[in-house]
A and B are shown apart, each in its own frame.
Chain A
Amino acid sequence: MKSIIELKEVTKVIKGRKIIDNISFKVNKGEVFGFLGPNGAGKTTTIRMMVGLMGITSGDIEIAGHSIKTRFEDAVRYVGAIVENPEMYKFMSGYDNLIHFARMSKRITKEKINEVVALVGLTDRIHDKVKTYSLGMRQRLGLAQCLLHDPEVLILDEPTNGLDPAGIREIRDYLRLLAREKNMAVIVSSHLLSEMEMMCDRIGIIQNGRLIDVQFVKEFVQTDKQSYEFEVIPSEKAMILFQTSFPDVRLIRSSNGITVEVKKEEIPNIVKILVEADFQIFSIKEVAKTLEDRFLEVTAAKGGTNHD
């Protein structure tokens, strides 16, 4: 796969504070890349730098081989973006808003505008003033605005913010479609992990301005180690036994017993030890790990050690 946007050791310093610290990654055509992190981690700042709204203190961002720093116009022409909320001119109709933005790119025909309007499902309301639109409709108009010039990179900052579940689903399916059918690179940011899990191919985790991990969602969720919850009595003694027998294993005391992170093959061995030590085992359950758990793990481990 070919990369379309590349961040090279991007750093942003505002008033002596490092907001973004040496971030590098690539996003390929046809993939949905998630940008994940808690509030204030630097997601929006990074996105603002990608589209040239903010300057880059050091490093560079290249879009289709053009630096956003030195060849802004050449680079940004491949990009369609919504940064934070899709704020439009509320006193104008949706159509006038699209005309406005169409005039700012080259060769966008009336037919193209109508096509995009139909695509986002706003045909019936497009001539109404934007101030009468619901949040979902504004979100869709925002999407229409960034699809006008057939961009190769779509950058959406919190695209599902404020949408109802049906709207979220719609956007999600739509973004996947764009990536698949039009071979666009779609970059979305979010702090909603469940959302990212369903939408993205790859995710980059950002915390305190540092990119701490980039992984495929599938790998990210399904690591070879799984968690199993052992319901054993007496659990305190079992804890001690686990700690002595398996010193490398992560243990969590849960309400029903002990959650252990081990490979599946290890389970018979554990059961054997427990039984031999005369513990009572009531159940062993596989705990499905979500992106959320992984996220907290990763941020706790890497973010924690990096935090100096």
Chain B
Amino acid sequence: MKSQLQRGGQTMINLIKNEWMKIFKRPGTYVMIGILLAIVCIFGAIEKYEVKGNNSSPDNRWEQNLKQENNALKQQAKSAQTKTEKDFYKQKIVINEYRLKHNIPPDATTYHIWDFVNDAGGLIQLAGLFTIIISAGIVASEFNWGTIKLLLIRPISRVMILLSKYVTVLLFALLMLSILFVFATVVGAFLFGFPEQTSSYLNYVNGKVTEQNMVLHLMIYYGLNSINMIMLTTMAFMISSVFRNSSLAIGISIFLLLTGAQITTLLAIKFSWAKYLLFANTDLTQYFEGTPVVDGMTLGFSIIMLLLYFLVFQALAFSVFKKRDVAA
């Protein structure tokens, strides 16, 4: 039983090697990585240009400023209409108080490496776009090339083949995210330098503030922001295996990647069923720093919804791929 499992594992590794080879023997992949690197550089240059004038020396009067700010915030909180707004002010006040108490000056005055890595998190969309392109092609291309016929007449079940392709897509997503994170750190260090004191991130959860290592915080931040991309990549993978059409998969997935969140937010204003939509649940940061799209949503609810969508996508992909007559 164990040796059988080992052999299965070896087969899986071989299949993933194959998929990886097919991705990296195509020049398009390097173009994508090149574009990602270039955009990080351009983004860095723009930020550098923008913050040039704003970077002042550390503020000596920050304690006084914070107190003033808190007083103003308290006023605003009183006049706030909605719960969302009240929560927003409350969070700011609590974090400011924590800074005063523990003598941690706000680092808003100086723009440094971690701010840049944080801002570069917006480029996860771009990494997502490239991953979707790979994901949409990984099954459909085999049909287009006609190579599916050679692929499926090996002593390996179709489930294993499709699984190896999905795992490869996930690995590619991880690679793109790592490239983005590492390269943003390098560019950030080069352009903006490290802060004078090791900074930690102040987390606000349920009215309490906790300190967190900055790099760890940013990794979690990147991870949480990748959920959207992973779900859309899975959807593209599903469309690709069900319809054997990569253009369709790319088209739908990228359209939703760019507009899904906005459409859902608009719907959420009017309809409470919007909370069942995929994009109402992909942003888990809403539970850590911010407020849910629809009132009454919880972290648990979102995770269950995400799992459901994921299972539906995979069930569709695998059941169709397993049964299909290959006549391409």
Contacts and interface: CB of A to CB of B under 8 A. Distances in A.
A100 B157 contact: no
Interface residues of A, number: 34
A174 interface: no
Contacts of B145: 87, 89-90
Interface in B145-165: 145-147, 149-157
A54 interface: yes
Contact of A103 (B17, B25, B149): B17
A258 to B, nearest CB: 47
A104 B147 contact: no
Interface stretch (B53-61, B113-121, B257-265, B320-328): B320-328
Interface stretch (A69-77, A189-197, A220-228, A265-273): A69-77
B84 to A, nearest CB: 52
Contacts of A91: 25-26
Interface stretch (A78-86, A118-126, A232-240): A78-86
A96 interface: yes
Given A54-B327, A73-B157, A76-B155, A101 B22 contact: no
B153 A88 contact: no
B250 interface: no
A287 interface: no
Interface string B124-161: 00000000000000000000011101111111110000
A139 to B, nearest CB: 14
A79 B21 contact: no
A55 B325 contact: yes
Chain B's interface size range is: 20 to 34
Given A101-B154, A103-B15, A84 B149 contact: yes
A84 B153 CA distance: 13
B18 interface: yes
Nearest to A155: B153
B323 to A, nearest CB: 7
A72 to B, nearest CB: 7
A53 interface: yes
B14 interface: yes
A104 B326 contact: no
Nearest to A129: B25
A202 interface: no
B18 A104 contact: yes
A46 interface: no
B157 A96 contact: no
Given A55-B323, A73-B156, A103 B22 contact: no
Contacts of A87: 145-147, 149-150
Interface in A201-221: none
Nearest to A145: B150
A14 B22 CA distance: 33
A48 B155 contact: no
A51 B146 contact: no
Contacts of A90: 145
Contact of A76 (B18, B153, B326): B153
A89 B154 contact: no
Contacts of B26: 91
A53 B152 contact: yes
A142 to B, nearest CB: 8
A269 to B, nearest CB: 56
Given A76-B153, A81-B153, A84-B149, A96 B21 contact: yes
A90 B27 CA distance: 13
Contacts of B11: 104
B147 A48 contact: no
B25 A51 contact: no
A182 B64 CA distance: 91
Nearest to B151: A104
A274 interface: no
Contacts of B149: 53, 83-84, 87
A167 interface: no
A52 interface: yes
B155 A83 contact: no
Nearest to A44: B327
B147 A76 contact: no
Given A54-B327, A83-B149, A89-B145, A77 B25 contact: no
- Residue in B18, B22, B150, B327 whose Cβ sees the most chain A Cβ within 10 Å: B150
Given A87-B145, A92-B21, A79 B157 contact: no
Given A53-B325, A89-B22, A104-B11, 4 more contacts: A48-B326, A54-B327, A87-B147, A96-B25
7 contacts: A84-B146, A89-B147, A90-B145, A99-B21, A103-B14, A103-B15, A105-B155
Interface of A: 14, 48, 51-55, 72-74, 76-77, 79, 81-92, 96, 99-101, 103-106, 145
